[in-house]
Amino acid sequence: MKINAILQAVRNRVTIKLGLLLVSVFLLIIFLIGHLLYSLFLSFYLSHIKEELIQRAQSHANVLSDHFESLTINHVIRMEKNSNQMVVILDQQRRVIASSETVTPLHRQYLSRADMKKQEETAIEQDWDTKPFLVFESPIHQDGRIVGTVMMFNSTTPIRQAVDILRGMLVIAGIVAVVIVAGVSFIISRMIVRPLLTMKKATGNIALGNYVTKVDVQGGDEIAQLAASINHMSEQIRFYQKQRNEFLADIGHELRTPLTYLKGYSEILMQSHGSSEHVEYAKTIYEQSSRLQRLVQDLFDLARMEQGTFSFQMECLSLEESVIEALSLAEISMDEKGIYLEYTPPPSSLCIMGDRQRIGQVLLNILENARRYISAGSTVFVTIEREEEYASIKIRDTGPGIPEEDIPYITERLYRVEKSRSQSTGGSGLGLAISKEIIEKHNGRLIIQSKQGEGTEFCITLPLK
């Protein structure tokens, strides 16, 4: 699980992905440079050793070609006594005449490979990695014929030791370079991605309705242009939001007076002694004007909340008392439809700072919403719990549930799951939008969970006093 979480975090973080990309590129470059340096060093080092062996073998062979006698042979042997190489002088029958060091069986397997017919210097062994010696030979000429040969041996152990030291140095240098490159890469990626993270945060705030959010515009590159576009978008949304709220507030204000007159005169007509048909018409006008008046009032309240001009009467109130009061008001309508209410109180009293009327309005909205959609004989469960520094009110029904694709939009204004907008199966689509605004003004959250065929749960979370 932890590995999957780490991999998921890596996939979701641009900083990490960009940093890993830069580190990978630098590692590839470091590897190529290290491989090139290693190859060049090895090539030059081996070339130097081989050239030295060839030159010494040729030099000794030239001297012995002029004076192939004991005094000259002993002089050549003394020259190589304290060097890193070993010289072996053979006669025409490959017999050892003299050597600067003791000839071992390892040396003899190369002596047997001496070629007395070749006229030039010859490499007998050049494998430094797996063989014990590098071996070269040079023929000794007298009177146009080969009378012997000089064989030069160089132990490969110092070569392998030098190569191992080089590899160790390259590995250490590579590790240091990786650490430095990783740090620099993530700093660079952070610098590149930081403006994007700032813009991500800003767009998140804009999505939550905070349209005053601004992004600092620095420079004139594409990222700066994107930041300027986000600022422009925020200003435009804020402007249209303000226009919409003002329009709704104006409409609500202008419609309330004529609706009051319409409702009042229809009520008078209902009480008159006209025909039953006229009374029935007046009753219909009264009911529809009342419904329209509630709708206008909801729109007006919602616009004021979004504008920040809606006032709340905050006080310390008992959450249990507010819930019981709401349940008492909803009980009559629930009984009429044959719906049961089951209430679970908290273990101890929980108090919050809130507007008693508005909290009650939210609870009644949710209970009324449950009453509309669940059938007779169903149960609505209401529970109050404490969750650390918060209190939660959970209202769960056993209704048909809400489709998963509709849940994110259920608290949007005028949104209804039932698209026909029938009055018999739902309200105006403003109740949950108003409820969400009220809860958020109390620094709380309204969480909706639902599964079709099993029911819906509304969880109201409010900070405790």
- Burial (CB count <10 Å: 0-12, 13-18, 19+), residue 182: middle
Average pLDDT, the chain: 82
Confidence of residue 421 (pLDDT cuts 50, 70, 90): very low
For residue range 200-255, list pLDDT tens digits in order. Answer: 888 888 777 777 778 887 777 777 888 888 888 888 888 877 777 777 667 766 77
Residue 166 half-sphere exposure toward CB, CA atoms < 13 A:
17
Calpha distance 326→371 (Å, rounded): 14
Query: Pairing relation of β-strands 85-91 and 96-99?
Result: antiparallel
CA dihedral sign, ordered 163, 165, 166, 168? positive
Report angle CA 301, 305, 308 to the nearest 5 degrees. Answer: 135
Claim to verify: residue 78 and residue 133 sit in the same structural domain: yes
Going through 119-246 in order, the beta strands assigned E by DSSP cover 122-125, 133-142, 145-155
Residue range 423-438: mean pLDDT, rounded: 71
**pLDDT at residue 23 tops 50:** yes
- Share above pLDDT 90 across residues of the chain, in percent, rounded to a whole number: 9
328: CATH: 3.30.565.10
Say if residue 347's pLDDT is above 70.
yes
298 within domain boundaries:
yes
pLDDT for res 309: 66
Q: Does 368 share its domain with 449?
A: yes
Angle at 60 between CA 100 and CA 86, to 5 degrees: 25
Confidence at 417, pLDDT banded by 50, 70, 90 = low
Structure tokens at 187: 């700093």
pLDDT of 86 over the 80 cut: yes
* 323 shares a domain with 301: no
Q: Which domain holds residue 93?
A: 64-161
Do 396 and 443 reside in the same domain of the chain? Answer: yes
Q: Are residues 245 and 360 in the same domain?
A: no
State the CATH number of the domain containing residue 98.
3.30.450.20
Domain count, the chain: 3
